Structure 1
Amino acid sequence: MADTQLPQSAQFVIVGGGIVGCSVAYHLTKMGHRDVVLLEQGQLSCGTTWHAAGLVGQLRSQPAMTNLIRYSTELYSQLEAETGLATGWMECGSVTVARTEDRMTMLLRTAAAARAQGVEVQVITPQEAQDKWPVMQVDDVKGGLWMPGDGKANPTDLTQSLAKGARMGGAKVIEGMKVTDILTKDGTVAGVVTDQGAINAEIVVNCGGQWARQLGKMCGVNVPLHSAEHYYIVTEQIEGVNPDLPVLRDPDGYIYFKEETGGLVMGGFEPDAKPWGMDGIPDNFFFQLLEDDWDQFEILMENALIRVPSMAETGVRQFYNGPESFTPDNNYLLGEAPELKNFFVGAGFNSMGIASAGGAGRALAEWIVEGAPTSDLFAVDIRRFANFNNNPTWLHDRVKETLGLHYAMPWPNRELDTARPFRRSALYDRLAAKNAVFGSKMGWERVNYFAEDGEKAEIEYSFDRQNWHVNAGKEHKATREAVTLFDQSSFSKLLVQGRDACSELNRICAANVDVPVGQTVYTGLLNERGGYESDLTVLRVKAQEYMLITGSAQTIHDADWIRKNFSDDAHVFLTDVTAAWSVLSVMGPKSRDVLKKLTKADLSNAAFPFATVQEIDLGYATVPANRMTYVGELGWELVVPVEFTVGVYEDLMRAGAEYGIRDAGYYALEGLRIEKGFRAWSRELTPDITPIQAGLNFAVDYDKPGGFIGKEALLAAKADPGHLKTRIVQLVLEDGAPQLWGGEAVLCNGVEIGEVRSAAYGHTLGAAVALCQLDAPQRVTAEYIRSGAFEIDLAGTRLSATAHLRTPYDAKGERPKTDG
């Protein structure tokens, strides 16, 4: 029975009765919370959920996301027994086929990643693919993958079953009640207003699907998503199609198939998508479809006829054109909004809502109850976007591309082309004139590498070495042997000021930041589990003022984490000053010589030690210079006011000419840092990895007064012999030819025990280098590393590698500290 009465208040109010909202309600009740109200403006599943195709594929590019879907499949398989309502869940498996050699390489990479993540997978021949899916022809197929654990579900039934489970746990599910406003007080959500009255709430969860962006706008929260049309057809019955038929994906044709009542559901993701509804989604768009668009569908139909020729003689029972919401990067949006306390979002599921809803609903419920994510969710964390990502024109153009990329080849380093150039540094035009090839990070245009004169300034994608390999190698070599300049202006810069700035930051940072003015501290920001929420550099510029320099993608995330952990009564203020400062990194053994020509400052070790920051004269400009390195060489990060940037750049290039100075990009930077073994946040450093496991225990001060967030967890981990079964290690391939990209499986003595988190070609070491997370059956000690035979599975080929706990390049870290 549906509830109809709106209570005056509730601890949790969930807006939206699609599969995600019902999953959040279900999981909150499973955690013992009964004061849960779910509001749906129409009927359950009436928005996007009801017309979803219901495919459940387990594997995602990140282990954390795969784990959520693995949980979904477990939940769906037992939900009917718990609630008595069928879910249509069927573990029928899935077949994915490849039409090209490149796609087959991608599937072999996928198989290795699946094995590393514990997902059952089998590489199959065209004939084996046809045996599992007899109604297709395979003359043009190179091979495929069989994943027996994949399945399908009935989205509407599944939603009703989750809703019933939530009601059984005490939740109220109220249909036909539209939310018209969000109540707030003192920066915190206070409840919602409906067309039938208001309800006060401690926590509001926005699971509004296509309406989630509009709901966010009611209370100043950015939910960057855009609807696009998504098509599929249901055919009449086809001979040979039975209910046990696996799901079939043919990504080279942009299409998928599943069985339905003896016929086929065939849909897909056309490469040039059609956005919809930017002027607002109609309120009463319940159980509705858009007009058929056979012209837009034509590319999918053509490919379907190639794969299943008998469809040419088969009638179409129904054409579905159901809009759904897509995000700028094809990952969904989860978590507490940084703009409004206790307002959570679960939306933008990009045609993956059915597969993801079980795990995402549980993850969001845990986040709500615990006050922080309980696992590594940065790939879907709403804080990966900023307010400018919610611009309607930008969203419209970007979402056209991201929907089209659903089945596109996921090339290593794939860059998005639409809605660019976007954010530009002061040097953008100067670098573009030098044949810079730009990538995009958090909207910033950043140089990936520089093309030589006469070369096309564009990336040619491949799973092997790409066309920039030699160019990045020259930039790498120049950094190791002479001097290079990196424009790292996209770094996030956060100013923390106030009487309590020192004591507050010291509790939030794992290292001791109560240091003399002018000192620089590398530190992690840890969660209560001792895992990394970020790693960054802290510059003490005044007694009551710090500048924090952190990764480009982390501005919103890190600022939010720090603000949330400030004491309520502390005299402390955080300001994002990213746009005010450029960062020009002058790196390499000749960097001191170049700077000396422009400054009167003493740059010797005695006067300007490593890990210190000083304001120096540089040509006509006065700039803070931070003696720090992310490439493992002598160098300074110059923090330059934007208005002086062009002048400083011109001076540096002029002064550096005699030392062979050259511009360098992020591909070289990545190779240099991986070769040096430097960890990066969201790659090696995640909310599930501690400094002990990362080999960064030296950057933790266990004895500082007042302690720090995560200290108890780290002390417990130190005492736990099993803690080091998980560890970050460096692997260097023995063969200098192959190219690694990340995501490959790592084997020890023939058994998968981990995956590559970051990889690049180490031009100094002469081979590909990988930073890997091992999850071994025993403690990963120096002896374990020495005695094991390590391999990396590259698209089905096992490559021998040497493991290192400490990088073979400048193992003692002496090069950045050379004197002169």
Structure 2
Amino acid sequence: MVGTGLPDRAQYVIIGGGIVGCSVAYHLARLGHTDIVLLEQGQLSCGTTWHAAGLVGQLRSTPAMTNLIRYSTQLYSELEKETGLATGWMQCGSVTVARSDDRMTMLLRTAAAARAQGVDVDVITPGEARDKWPVMQVDDLKGGLWMPGDGKANPTDLTQSLAKGARRHGARIVEGIQVTDILTENNQISGVETDHGRIQAEVVVNCAGQWARRVGRMCGANVPLHSAEHMYIVTEQIEGVNPDLPVLRDPDGYIYFKEETGGLVMGGFEPEAKPWGMNGIPDNFFFQLLPDDWDQFEILMENALTRVPQMAQTGVREFYNGPESFTPDNNYLLGETPEVKNFFVGAGFNSMGIASAGGAGRALAEWIVEGAPTMDLFAVDIRRFADFNNNPTWLHDRVKEVLGLHYAMPWPNRELDSARPFRRSPLYDRLAAKNAVFGSKMGWERANYFAFEEGEKTEYGFGRQNWHEAVGAEHKAAREAVVVFDQSSFAKLLVQGKDACSQLNRICAGNIDVAPGRTVYTGLLNNRGGFESDLTVLRLKLDEFLIITGSAQAVRDTDWLRKNFEPDAHVFLTDVTSSWSVLSLMGPASRKVLASVTQSDLSNDAFPFGTVQKIDLGYATVLANRMTYVGELGWELIVPVEFTVGVYEDLMQAGEQHGIRDAGYYALEGLRIEKGFRAWSRELTPDITPLQAGLGFAVDFEKPCGFVGKEALLASKSDPKHLNTRIVQMVLQSGLPQLWGGESVLCNGSVIGEVRSAAYGHTLGAAVALVQVNASRKVTAEYLAENSWEIDLAGERHKASPYLRTPYDPHGARPRSS
């Protein structure tokens, strides 16, 4: 035993006694894992939890996240009965109102998404909104949404109830113990050091809230979050306010309201936040608040007086300014860190911790026990960030914007503006000089499109945005002439060693044991047969492979591969992303352009589709991979960074007579969706198998070594209901509407799925979508043909034609053309 009677060892040590830490302890114990010690440096809920507003809204940006919140609401409604401690949970519903036409359009889109995700929702008029929330004025409103399943809870009571439930199932919770160090051996957790002694542990879970970043640094793990001030007031009693009053959200005013003891809690998310704690969070910041800041709060107060005029004659009982932690993208951090084995994180909840804690605690507990996520958690997976995202100066500047995203208009393709430019390819300045309008992914500045006019910026909207025609021209050039995409943000992983082939082949669903010079498109599958990633494997030598994967996937894919390599295998993985640029030369004239700057033979016989060769290109020597993501003849040119500018200049000069032009990621997205190509985290998720995605051709069931997920996939093949879920392409029958993704899909008038990706298909002359259909029978071409299909676009239904195989070049002849 150590110090105050603590055990000297435990299977699980949880750091942090806020609502998330208590939820993880509760769910681990419910799973039968009772050797748990939760350590809280102060008292339970003393950090951020105690001053949280306690709002619980169900709908989130992805179905998986929505399901976690819905589990939270179910848990909170049942917890008091189990533990005997009140949670303050009340399913009072919520009203969200719109002041502008654009916001009303957004709410109509939200309603369609809610129906697709099985969440009860009603579109209501301003008068109906006032009936549900009588103390607000509605003269300036366009309408609203009513979500009866939403609610509110008392954060402190809820934490205590979860803690009692955890104790009843065997967990031990100790307050007043500070963790001073995280102990590791061979990059694996071995225990924690506390101010009362050492505890050996198999697993450590970092639920330290605002301190989570510092706790991560104790063992070299990146936990990118930063604190910001978050303010709300509690008013005196107001006539007409009663305990059954729903939660009210007025996002155009950046504000929310809930009832409390006959008055109102009013808070919000101002457009530009105040970061806090640049020099670290004090250890003893327990049950403390920051000074009142009425200047920062002014914009919220002004909007609140517009919505509830009675507040002008009502006193303020309390002003709460409690700091909370925010992440770079407004989603929380969950999962095992790639830096340290068995070190898990549940932190950075962006003012959504109360709503998220139930589901997030269960998901993290299952991840810990099973060794992998049991559902699609990519949106919150800590591996979506890299070490550079943990830079404190960058975090400080990004968090200023992130807090305001809660109620900012979620425009399609909205880009964050803060802390940019960040990562830049060698061509950044040249593309900027050609009117490139940049977006950002994994920190990379990437050309979204090339504007016709100098200085143009994206004008956001729910219809066609101002770049529609420019992207149409890029799209046309790719289909009819030739374009260059700067895809240097692709992640590149070099795998070497005498066991590289056998190890990769056991992990990849496709057969990558091919001759050097061959390229294989394949998936990485989990034990459920779902996608963990999709990527391209280039066999350069017998013992050397180059993996090309998505921009956001370097950390996650690296972690997945390394964890699946056998411990004694002779295999080495190196992230070489920064060493290579990728210039994709695509279009019918691509062979003519490339032939004019190389002496290599580019004919079909000498350079067939699906192969990679080292070729000369002007003065440079590059890897040319004959592959396409746009459905046209073309090569991905993998260029050493120092030669990138020269290669680009040679291509543009040689292509001038063929009408070459630069093209950006908006065109790339439209081209790939028009062709029906799937994308990771959109159509391909951990819950979707290759069979459901229509990618069975990329799986080799016969290879002798087998592959991760094979057993589950074989079982799926014999399951008659497995193909009731399919990824299907749909093309609107009208050429006018613009789809963006997230819309609901209807079969014979009933919601049956949702749009996963969408863009305007300039070749087909209409918006094109890749949708996930969840039917009651096997989804076949016959099934699609015999039913009527529509897509709900902000409350308007548009007829759509469904396809299992794209109508554009359905047999894939163009990329293989002579």
Distance in 1 of aligned mates of 2:701 and 2:167? 47
> Corresponding residue for 2:658?
659
1:159 alignment partner AA: T
Distance in 1 of aligned mates of 2:374 and 2:545? 29
Distance in 2 of aligned mates of 1:264 and 1:784? 53
Where structure 1 has 5 or more consecutive residues not aligned to the other structure, the ranges are: none
Listed as ranges, the matches of 1:356-755 within 5 Å are: 356-452=356-452, 454-755=453-754
Listed as ranges, the matches of 1:35-74 within 5 Å are: 35-74=35-74
2:492 alignment partner AA: K
Distance in 1 of aligned mates of 2:458 and 2:775? 37
> Corresponding residue for 1:303?
303
Structure 1 residue 61, shift from structure 2 partner: 1.0
Is 2:21 the partner of 1:21?
yes
Is 2:161 the partner of 1:153?
no
1:323 alignment partner AA: P
> Corresponding residue for 2:98?
98
2:716 alignment partner AA: A
Contact 1:5 1:174 in 2 (8 A): no
Listed as ranges, the matches of 1:92-241 within 5 Å are: 92-241=92-241
1:51 alignment partner AA: H
Contact 1:4 1:175 in 2 (8 A): no
2:387 alignment partner AA: N
Distance in 2 of aligned mates of 1:292 and 1:646? 53
> Corresponding residue for 1:10?
10
Distance in 1 of aligned mates of 2:318 and 2:352? 22
Structure 1 residue 4, shift from structure 2 partner: 6.0
1:151 alignment partner AA: G
What per-residue deviation string (whole Å, max 9, x for no partner) do you get for residues 380-403 of structure 1? 000000000000000000000010
Structure 1 residue 207, shift from structure 2 partner: 0.2
Contact 1:327 1:348 in 2 (8 A): yes
1:401 alignment partner AA: E
TM-score (norm: length of structure 2): 0.99
Task: Please identify runs of 4+ aligned residues in structure 1 that moved more than 3 A.
Answer: none
Contact 2:4 2:196 in 1 (8 A): no
Contact 1:520 1:539 in 2 (8 A): yes
Distance in 1 of aligned mates of 2:117 and 2:235? 36
Structure 1 residue 788, shift from structure 2 partner: 1.0
2:679 alignment partner AA: A
Distance in 2 of aligned mates of 1:658 and 1:249? 57
What per-residue deviation string (whole Å, max 9, x for no partner) do you get for residues 35-87 of structure 1? 01100000000000000000000000110000000000000000000000000
Distance in 1 of aligned mates of 2:272 and 2:589? 49
Structure 1 residue 457, shift from structure 2 partner: 2.3
Structure 1 residue 234, shift from structure 2 partner: 0.4
Distance in 1 of aligned mates of 2:629 and 2:441? 18
Aligned partner of residue 405 in structure 1, secondary structure: helix
Structure 1 residue 524, shift from structure 2 partner: 0.1
Aligned partner of residue 120 in structure 2, secondary structure: coil
Structure 1 residue 779, shift from structure 2 partner: 1.2
Q: In 2 relative to 1, CA 4–119 (structure 1 residues): closer, same or farther, beyond 3 Å?
A: farther
Listed as ranges, the matches of 1:232-381 within 5 Å are: 232-381=232-381
1:167 alignment partner AA: R
Distance in 2 of aligned mates of 1:495 and 1:245? 58
Contact 2:736 2:766 in 1 (8 A): yes
> Corresponding residue for 2:780?
781
Contact 1:190 1:202 in 2 (8 A): yes
2:607 alignment partner AA: F
Distance in 2 of aligned mates of 1:599 and 1:320? 67
Contact 2:56 2:152 in 1 (8 A): yes
Aligned partner of residue 499 in structure 1, secondary structure: coil
Contact 1:731 1:804 in 2 (8 A): yes
Structure 1 residue 404, shift from structure 2 partner: 1.3
Aligned partner of residue 398 in structure 2, secondary structure: helix
Distance in 2 of aligned mates of 1:37 and 1:722? 43
What per-residue deviation string (whole Å, max 9, x for no partner) do you get for residues 473-519 of structure 1? 00000000000000000000000000100000000000000000000
Distance in 2 of aligned mates of 1:726 and 1:623? 42
Aligned residues: CA RMSD: 0.7
Aligned partner of residue 344 in structure 2, secondary structure: strand
1:734 alignment partner AA: Q
1:34 alignment partner AA: T
Distance in 2 of aligned mates of 1:58 and 1:753? 20
| Equivalent pairs, count | 816
Distance in 1 of aligned mates of 2:773 and 2:192? 46
Distance in 2 of aligned mates of 1:257 and 1:597? 66
What's the % identity of the aligned pairs? Answer: 80
Distance in 2 of aligned mates of 1:457 and 1:514? 48
> Corresponding residue for 2:808?
809
Aligned partner of residue 666 in structure 2, secondary structure: helix
Contact 1:592 1:635 in 2 (8 A): yes
Structure 1 residue 778, shift from structure 2 partner: 1.4
2:74 alignment partner AA: E
Distance in 2 of aligned mates of 1:293 and 1:153? 26
2:60 alignment partner AA: R
Distance in 1 of aligned mates of 2:114 and 2:339? 37
2:167 alignment partner AA: R
> Corresponding residue for 1:794?
793
Distance in 2 of aligned mates of 1:35 and 1:702? 41
Structure 1 residue 5, shift from structure 2 partner: 2.8
Structure 1 residue 777, shift from structure 2 partner: 1.5
Higher mean C-alpha deviation, range 3-12 or range 408-417: 3-12
Contact 1:228 1:325 in 2 (8 A): yes
Structure 1 residue 455, shift from structure 2 partner: 4.7
Distance in 1 of aligned mates of 2:321 and 2:796? 42
2:734 alignment partner AA: D
What per-residue deviation string (whole Å, max 9, x for no partner) do you get for residues 371-425 of structure 1? 1111000000000000000000000000000101110000000000111000000
Distance in 2 of aligned mates of 1:262 and 1:430? 61
TM-score (norm: length of structure 1): 0.99
Aligned partner of residue 406 in structure 2, secondary structure: coil
Q: In 2 relative to 1, CA 4–26 (structure 1 residues): closer, same or farther, beyond 3 Å?
A: farther
1:291 alignment partner AA: P
Structure 1 residue 709, shift from structure 2 partner: 0.1
Q: In 2 relative to 1, CA 501–646 (structure 1 residues): closer, same or farther, beyond 3 Å?
A: same
Structure 1 residue 25, shift from structure 2 partner: 0.2
Structure 1 residue 456, shift from structure 2 partner: 3.5
Aligned partner of residue 721 in structure 2, secondary structure: helix
Structure 1 residue 278, shift from structure 2 partner: 1.2
Q: In 2 relative to 1, CA 4–770 (structure 1 residues): closer, same or farther, beyond 3 Å?
A: farther
2:568 alignment partner AA: D
Distance in 2 of aligned mates of 1:525 and 1:14? 31
2:516 alignment partner AA: V
1:765 alignment partner AA: L
Structure 1 residue 655, shift from structure 2 partner: 0.5
1:754 alignment partner AA: G
Distance in 2 of aligned mates of 1:57 and 1:777? 29
Distance in 2 of aligned mates of 1:98 and 1:5? 56
